Amino acid sequence: MKSVLEKIKSSSYLKLLLFFTSFVWFTKFSGVILPLHLIKSGLSFVDFSIGASLSVLAQIITVLLISRTKLKNIHLWILSALLYLTVFTIYVTFPSTIIYFIGALLSGVASVIFYGPYNVSHFELTPRNKTGSGAALFFNLLTGVGIIAPIAAGTVASFSIFILLLISFILAFIAVSFMFFQEKIDINFSVKESFKEISKVKWIIYLRGIHEALGTFITLVTITLIYEFFDLGVYGTVLAVLGILISFAVGKYSDRLSTKKHLLAPLAIINGVLTLLFIFDVFRVNIILWGLLNLVWGKIDGLFDQTALAFVMDETKDRLKTTFGREIVLNIGRLTGTLVVVLGFAIPNFIDYSIAILASSMFMYAIYVTCIYHNLEE
């Protein structure tokens, strides 16, 4: 971690982190209570799950289209900010099922054109032997913003959702102002070459994507237990505070390993077991038990995520090709997972089977890392 902290002192890295923090603050503050707002406006759980699938589909198509352009990272970030503002505005002003589906498509585009170029910049500035700490820094910044943004957004929204929207425009302006101080990178890559770059790790990326759909299920169940903006904000902040301390320690430990696969397999197994606990009704009807399960699972999932990302970066060479190859495969996995969740809510009494399928992706991940990947190396 020392090398990463020393890197932060450099002008380029510090400016990049300031930009990232401001942009994530803008999106989290504006978006954290929108699911509750939409459900209150009449969306069903099936509608919400379909929207999640549309968002992922938009990300896949967007990456394919980006490969045919010669845009720079700053151009994509500005477009992302504009799309996010558009989505927030139409959700607040005209909440309906059709508007939600349109917004889901736009938010998918906004997400991938922000995080894709950012990951390239972030890991280009991270020492190759410190990708674990670099990944920990990336995810801890996300979590750190989550300490204040949810309770702040919940407080404002409890007074007026339109005031929340106004503040979102101000935060977007601040984030955009930081963009112009970033180093420009050409986002120009070949989809075929990107797939080739991640060929050894494509299946573990896909399996991770399937499991990420669990987040949609968790969001919707949380809304059934917490139906007020302020309470939802407090809940998000408490989880963020309790969950942030452990990530850096494991990120530092993972750097000491010759390969991250030794840490990935046990984390994947624990993640799968914890995922299975979401099947039990005792956790879904009690906010305290639900919060505790989310806290424990969230810690493990976060550690798994940052270690998995570091592992992929370690096993590949070209950051640009790796990032966008990973985005395509990860989102194909997410699309698979969200469709499983859609079926879970659309078919009576099927949601438990959906969760079991998501959990199984983690067990398959562990098997692949420990067995199949070892054979590939040989």
Asked if residue 225 is part of any domain, the answer here is yes
Q: Determine the Cα–Cα distance for residues 192 and 67; give it in Å rounded to an integer.
A: 10
**Amino acid 1: pLDDT:** 47
CA dist 104 and 102 (Å) reads: 5
Per-residue confidence (pLDDT) for residue 74, from 0 to 100: 87
Question: Would residue 112 count as lying in a domain?
Answer: yes
Could you tell me if residue 1 is inside a domain?
Answer: no
The predicted pLDDT at position 315 comes to 79
* Domain ranges, residue 265: 7-181+190-377
Q: In the prediction, which pLDDT does 302 show?
A: 80
* Residue 12, domain member (yes or no): yes
**Domain assignment present for 242:** yes
State the chain's maximal CA–CA distance in angstroms: 61
List the CATH number of the domain containing 226.
1.20.1250.20
Distance CA 126, CA 313 (A): 11
Residue pair 68/347 in contact by the 8 Å Cβ criterion: no
Q: Is residue 2 part of a domain?
A: no
Which residues of the chain have a pLDDT value below 70?
1-10, 125-140, 142-146, 243-261, 372-378
The whole-number pLDDT of residue 352 equals 93
pLDDT at 18: 85
What pTM was computed for the model? 0.84
294: in domain: yes
pLDDT tens, position by position, 22-32:
888 888 887 88
Number of independent structural domains in the chain: 1
